[in-house]
Amino acid sequence: MADTRLFALVGNPNTGKTTLFNALTGLRQKVANYPGVTVEKKEGTGRDRHGNEFRLIDLPGAYSLDAKSPDEEVTCAVLHGERADTPRPDAVICLIDASNLERHFYLATQVMELGLPTIIVLNKTDEAAERGITIAAKKLEERLGVPVVPMQANARVGMEQLQVALSREEPPKPKWESMVGNDVAARYEKINALLEGTVARGDVERLTPTDRWDRVLVHPVWGWVILLGILAGLFMTIFSVATYPMDWINAGFGWLGEQVKASMAAGDLRSLITEGIIGGVGGVLIFLPQILILFFFIGLMENTGYLARVSFMMDRLMSGVGLSGKAFVPLLSSYACAIPGIMATRTMESARDRLITILVAPITSCSARLPVYLMLIALMLPIGNATQKALVLLGLYGLSILGVYAFAWVFNRTLEKTGETLMVLELPSYQSPSWREVLMQLLERGKIFLRRAGTVILGLSILLWALTTYPKSDSENASEQLAHSAAGRMGKAIEPVIAPLGYDWKMGVGLVASFAAREVFVSTMSIIYLGEDATGEGNTVREKMAKEKRADGTPAYNVRTCLSLLVFYVFAMQCLSTVAVTRRETNSWRWPIFQVVYLTGFAYIAALATYQISGFFLT
Amino acid sequence: MNDKKAIGQLGVGETADLGEMSLNGSAGERLREMGLLPGAPIRLVRRAPLGCPLEFEVAGARLAIRGRDAARIFTQ
Amino acid sequence: MNDWQTWTALAVVTCTATIMLWRILRKRKPPGCDSDCDSSES
């Protein structure tokens, strides 16, 4: 059958699989999920030397096929053809770190025992050379009977040789005797026998660059200084640099709105387009620059290997509440978005640790909250004051960190322990950042954000516009019209419940609406306030909100209310997608429902406390 | 001559040969799979700034292990 | 008041609501989740 061949890419974590995957597939890749588990499925297509297409699947990193985590289970299952959703690969490309042959061959020998055509890639040969390691690839090839390709995937060195190996009509199967049972020591003995005479190690005792960097970056004093500096720099960048593209986007949407208004008579459809669609979607898209900056920083830290050091330094703080340093990366990623963060917990071996991490992940202030935070902070503090604003934002993030710890501690105490677990964190060598990879990831994340804006947010904006417009009242007064609408009535209905928190019914409408997705709060406010007037620019929403008054004449969005709203948003669980992912990862509805209840309940209490207590200090 | 001690008690920069481990089932297997076999040299690279975990160089890689677990892995 | 704009707007809203409902209900089906499975990130 002239079907396209399916190659599987396997290897230990941190071996450069992603780099090689990108090199072979370019932009022709697709990220999805394995049904039933939240393990990321990465597939792509490439072309071989004959111009034929082949499919490539990047399997999760694994240390051995005796799976000890969901990631490894998937890799093992796919290689054995045991997953209904993924066909068994036709051939395997096994990636090995040339600096550490023995350990990487542990997995490789298990893979070869599958009896599939295999290509062995010795990656990072440059690093090996720096350590004085040379490998006789040809000898290995003879012994194994399969191609052994030395490569530097990030510099694209060795790609031609790999392409040759990929393009063979009848790729060879490995000459390797299967071993029975799990005898680790015995397997290593066979590996050493295999590698005998093929590896030459110079007597290099000098400090590697990684050592030199680690001396500073993991220094008891400087390490923290640098880490805090990086995080502070990140926030300052989000506030200053991002304002330029934000202004452009704002202007662009404003212009678009004007064009529509000029070409249509006033009416419902025009209102739907300008306030509902442009106002709603635009109000969220404007935060794309900041979200990209966040993803960029995290991607850079991960790419260079620094992120593992951060886990290393933070582990002690995490284990105090029953989390491991491995939870740090998922939780840190959750600061961009809890969905990939929760999915990243699949590398955690302990089911209990994973559960706790998943339960607290929504407390991390994800990027969807950023639009809400920024809008409320802008309302709270006058124009300018970038430092003050940055401080408030930092304070919010600090509050979320406290919340994560506090709840992790609680869960650690209350959930039953299932026995001791081991944490092993591998610290890869530093590598200079591959800008290409970081940017590709950024592109992918940006596309996903845009897709979500184009679909979920667009849909919700349209529906919200409808809820705030219909049923229509006879009055000309915009405020009365809003009160008459379905959304207005819902907001008024919950007003008694939210009044002690300092909210009015319009905010109530925003709160209710944003339970599907947080950033919808911004769109809703946009619609509510834009709908009251015919003009339509980003800043006027803010101005209007600033002018909004309560029954007694005081500003509606005063400092106390804004603080209370901010605190509410720090904790409340307002994301249907996160509920869905939690359900998938924990395989039950119990935990996602629990998340919604405990988080929203606590948010209410915390916001209540904030509003009431601040009454003693502020007007 | 050679005192058996837990790897967590090594001095920073000190190397020793691995001995037994008293870790249960799959935890012990995972460590062995990663190359922590009896006789393999292991070196304590550093302790984390907060004291824990400990970074070791063993089997060609840098692995960070918690103090509590390192206390159950012994030298020869 | 009930001009073409109002009717069109209502039609758009109804379509949107239908599409979104359909997507949610489709996802409830175990386990079959294809590529666009709202594993999307913000």
- Check pLDDT > 50 for residue C35: no
Q: How far is B36 from chain A (nearest CA, A)?
A: 10
Contact A315 B53 (CB under 8 A): yes
Over residues A176-186, the mean pLDDT reads 81
Average pLDDT over residues A504-519: 81
Return the biggest CA–CA distance within chain A: 91
- Three-state secondary-structure class, residue A92: strand
Query: For the ranges A311-315, A519-523, A598-602, which has the lowest average pLDDT?
Result: A519-523
Radius of gyration of chain B (CA): 11
Average pLDDT value for residue range A354-377: 87
Secondary structure (DSSP) of A279-330: IHHHHHHTTHHHHHHHHHHHHHHHHHTHHHHHHHHHHHHHHTTT--HHHHHH
Q: Which domain range does residue B49 map to? A: 7-75
Q: Strand, helix or coil at A596?
A: helix
Q: What is the pLDDT of residues A458-483, one digit of tens each?
A: 887 788 788 878 887 776 666 677 77
Highest mean pLDDT among A11-15, A218-222, A597-601, B58-62: A597-601
B53–chain A Cβ distance below 8 A for any pair: yes
User: Model confidence at A570, in pLDDT bands (50, 70, 90)?
Assistant: very high
Give the span between the Cα atoms of B37 and B60, in whole angstroms: 13
- What's the pLDDT at A404? 92
Shortest distance, CA A10 to any CA of chain B (angstroms): 16
- List B58's β-bridge partners, or say none: B42, B61
CB contact under 8 A, C5 and A265: yes
Q: Is a pLDDT exceeding 50 seen at residue C34?
A: no
* Alpha carbon distance, N-terminus to C-terminus of chain A: 77
- What residues have CB less than 8 Å from A458, skipping those under 6 apart? A277, A280, A281
Helix axes A325-334 and A288-304, enclosed angle (nearest 10): 160
Chains C and B touch (3+ CB pairs under 8 A): no
Residue A45 has pLDDT above 60, yes or no: yes
Mind telling me how many Å the CA of A163 is from chain C's nearest CA? 28
3-state SS, A6-37, equals: EEEEEECCCCCHHHHHHHHHCCCEEEEECCCC
Which CATH architecture describes the domain A5-201?
A: 3-Layer(aba) Sandwich (3.40)
Quote the CA–CA distance of A145 and A18 in Å, as a whole number. 26
Query: Once rounded to an integer, what is the mean pLDDT over residues A491-508?
Result: 87
pLDDT band at residue A360 under the 50/70/90 scheme: very high
CB contact under 8 A, A316 and B35: no
Q: What integer pLDDT is reported at residue A389 of this predicted model?
A: 83
Touching pair C, A by Cβ (3+ pairs < 8 Å)? yes
- C-alpha pair distances (Å), A496 with each of A501, A511, A553: 10, 14, 19
**Whole-angstrom Cα distance, residue A147 to residue A117?**
10
ipTM entry: 0.91
> Does residue A353 sit at the B interface (CB-CB below 8 Å)?
no
Overall average pLDDT of the A73-93 stretch: 88
User: What's the pLDDT at A239?
Assistant: 67
Question: Given CB atoms, is A226 within the 8 Å cutoff of chain B?
Answer: no
Total of domains in chain B = 1
- Under an 8 A CB cutoff, do A426 and B63 touch? yes
Q: Please indicate, yes or no, if residue B1 is contained in any of the structural domains.
A: no
Give the C-alpha separation, B60 to A205, whole Å.
Answer: 13
Taking the domains of chain A in order of start, what are their residue ranges? 5-201
CATH of the domain at B16: 2.30.30.90
State whether residue A184 sits within 8 Å of chain B by CB.
yes
Q: Among A413, A433, A230, A410, which residue's Cα sits nearest to residue A332?
A: A230
In a domain? residue B26: yes
What's the confidence (pLDDT) of residue A111? 92
Q: Reduced to 3 states, what is the DSSP secondary structure of residue A46?
A: strand
